[in-house]
Chains A and B, each alone.
Chain A
């Protein structure tokens, strides 16, 4: 019983916005209206497509030999 009360208190404190504000987060990804997240997504898609193109290139090279 004693243990469960302390657990509830712990969770209440953790979810309290006053305490949450003190937690350091990666701010770069959250600033400027989170535009960096969009940039990261598009960049990953483009890198993925280029990696795929590279793989096709290598396969064609292998077939040519």
Chain B
């Protein structure tokens, strides 16, 4: 009855990021003030989502190369956990935007891009549920999942960088690595990213195991 080492590591890293993230010194910036600390909690959600979606896409690719049903199931659970992380990122970002940019939603390419991304992934689940035949359901949704991942990269990784955006790192704004992420913040931010990726993977793995148990129960 022991927990896997990477799950413990995830807990420790996130716990560290909560304590150090609230107590460590941060750069004093206009408008942002103390909300710069949101970086450790809001941005990490997106990193976690992108890694989960990548894992989902990888499972879909492996499914198409051999048609192993387990791969399809894994792809689905990774994607659903990724959506969960994305929704958390979106709501926390909205609160942050309200108090720094003035409204809950601005017409920022990154915000609209993530909204489109989440809709694309919601369509993935609608697609899955709309196909009766198990085999074609797995095949069609695997192909759609790969397209969805590419679309996500386009919408949140490429398009926001080509236009003006309020987010750092976009439209000629300097990204992390310049004035807004000093070495103190890095020491908290990177462990936080790894920690949330690990915890997201843990939740996805649990979902997958429960799904597998359900399927095995039905087959008996």
Which A positions have Cβ atoms within 8 angstroms of B?
A: 35-36, 38-39, 42-43, 46-47, 50, 53-54, 56-58, 60-61, 63-64
B7 touches A60 (CB 8 A): no
Size of B's binding interface in residues, CB under 8 A: 17
Given contacts A57-B206, A60-B206, contact A39 B3 (CB under 8 A): no
Binding stretch for chain A, among B10-18, B130-138, B150-158, B170-178: B10-18
Name the contact of A60 in the complex, choosing from B3, B11, B22, B209 (C-beta under 8 A): B209
Say whether A61 contacts B1, CB under 8 Å. Answer: yes
**0 or 1 for each of B189-220: is its CB under 8 Å from A? (1 = yes):** 00000000001001100100110010000000
Complex: how many Å from CA A64 to CA B215?
Answer: 12
Question: Would A60 and B23 be within 8 Å (CB), given that A46-B15, A46-B18 are in contact?
Answer: no
Given known contacts A53-B203, A53-B206, A56-B206, A64 and B213 CB-to-CB distance under 8 angstroms: yes
| Residues of chain A with a CB closer than 8 A to B31's CB | none
Name 24 interchain pairs, CB-CB below 8 A, sorted by A.
A35-B22, A35-B23, A39-B22, A39-B23, A43-B15, A43-B19, A46-B14, A46-B15, A47-B15, A50-B11, A50-B199, A53-B202, A53-B203, A54-B3, A54-B7, A56-B206, A57-B3, A57-B7, A60-B206, A60-B210, A60-B213, A63-B213, A64-B209, A64-B213
Q: How far is the CA of A64 from the CA of B205 in the complex (A)?
A: 13
Q: How far is the CA of A41 from the CA of B206 in the complex (A)?
A: 26
Q: How far is the CB of B79 from chain A (nearest CB, A)?
A: 20
Q: In angstroms, how far is the closest chain A Cβ from the Cβ of B195? A: 10
Chain B residues with CB below 8 A from A43, complex form: 15, 18-19
Least CB distance from B6 to A in Å reads: 12
